Every structure is written in structure tokens, then in C-alpha cells.
Amino acid sequence: MTMPSLELFSRPEKAWHQIIRAEEQNAWQYLPHLLLFSLVPVISLYIGTWLTGWSLAEDERVRLDGSSALQLSLALYVTILLGTFIMGACIRGISYTFERKPSLNQCIAFTAYLLTPFFLAGLAGLYPSRPLALIALGAASVYATFLLYVGFPIYMHVRQSKGFFFASVVWGIGLLVVVTVLVSMILFWQMELHPEYLDPALRAPTEVPAAPPR
């Protein structure tokens, strides 16, 4: 992890100030963080759906074949990047009343660092399990909300009271964006890419048997 990323989990206020200073030196400094950290859930999902699999019944695990798992993982990667851009644009849109109106690039950077807990929670994808996913995503949601309310007034240079209000607006928009882009990704993957599953016993793509001749 980079130093600001580490500080987000130990001293978040200091981390946001470090991010601001780094951004003043290089406006694109957030790109390595976004592009690399977003690979954590992508690679974890690929391994989990192809090699580990998930259980639908006792002593039976379902897996995707390699190409379908890769398609799902790449779709998730594109969705993360697209969702980060959309969220940054939404933050830019509500910042018109701020004294120091941030640029679109700054808003995308803020979103990229805000999503860090979710990137790390993606490690749960190594072992697909509903309870584990709920715990990981729940913990990530709580801490990302904390980072949002701590970091928004600092990063956007607004008063604490005003920052609390706009952070609440961002939280609501973020929930809508996450649901929209993830549901769209799953529907596209299911309906357009036609995933293939591995037979639990043979570990080969399942095929529908031909009807017997009459």
C-alpha cells in the first residue's frame, strides 16, 4: 500500500491532508491507487469463481469455466472504473455552491480513495460465500461511510456542518450508483456473455444432453 492508503486505516484525517498535498504536486497521482487496488476484487473473483467455487448444496460446489470467470472479472473491473468516474462526476455536480469548487479530476480522486475499504473487502471473493460476503461488504460500508464524513469537509474545504450535509447527499447518490452499475453488469454478463459452468464431478463445461431419438 502507498502511505496515504495506509494512513486511511490508522489516521484518516492525516491521510486526507496527505492526499491533498500529493494532488497539488501531481493531479493524476490517484491513478495507480485506483487501477491497482481495483484489481484486488477482480483477481479474487476470478480465482474464487473458477478455482474455489461456491456451494449450492451439501458436498457440491459450482464453478465457472475459465473464460466465463475471466469475462465476469473483466466486467467487474470496467464496472469499478466506470462507477468511480460516475460518482466523481456526481460529486462535481453538487459542488457548485462550494467556495473552492473542485475539478472533476479531484472528485474522481476523492472517490477512488473513498472506495479503498471496498477494494480490500474484495479479498472475500477468494472464497465465495454469502455470509462472508455480507460481513466483508458490511464492514467496508461502515468504514467507507466513516471516511466519507471525516474526509469530505477536509478534501472539499467546507465547514463541518456543510460537509456533513453534502456527505449525506454523496452517500445516497453512491448507494444508487453502486446498485445501478452492479445490476447492469450482472444482467449484461448473464444475457450477453452466456456464462458456462463446470460440472462438479467432471470439472468440464456442462452441456445439455441431446433428446433421445424416437
183-206: pLDDT as tens digits: 999 999 989 988 888 865 444 555
Q: How far apart are CA 171 and CA 167, in angstroms?
A: 6
Structure confidence at residue 85 (pLDDT)? 97
Kindly state the helix (H) or strand (E) to which residue 152 belongs, with its residue range: helix 130-156
Q: How many CB atoms lie within 10 A of CB 65?
A: 19
Cβ 146 vs Cβ 12: under 8 Å: yes
Q: How many CB atoms lie within 10 A of CB 138?
A: 11
Q: How far apart are CA 10 and CA 151, in angstroms?
A: 14
Where do the structural domains in the chain lie, given as residue ranges? 30-193
Q: How many CB atoms lie within 10 A of CB 131?
A: 8
Read off the pLDDT of residues 135-169 as tens digits, 9 standing for 90 and up: 999 999 999 999 999 999 999 999 988 899 999 99
Query: Tens-of-pLDDT digits for all 214 residues of the chain?
Result: 566 778 899 999 999 999 999 988 888 999 999 999 999 999 999 999 999 888 766 667 789 999 999 999 999 999 999 999 999 999 999 988 888 889 999 999 999 999 999 999 999 999 988 899 999 999 999 999 999 999 999 999 999 888 999 999 999 999 999 999 999 999 999 899 888 888 654 445 554 444 455 5
Residue type, 93: G
Residue 45 grid cell: 473473483
Residue of 158, 12, 175, 211 whose CA lies nearest to 83:
175
59: left (phi over 0), alpha (psi -120 to 50) or beta: left
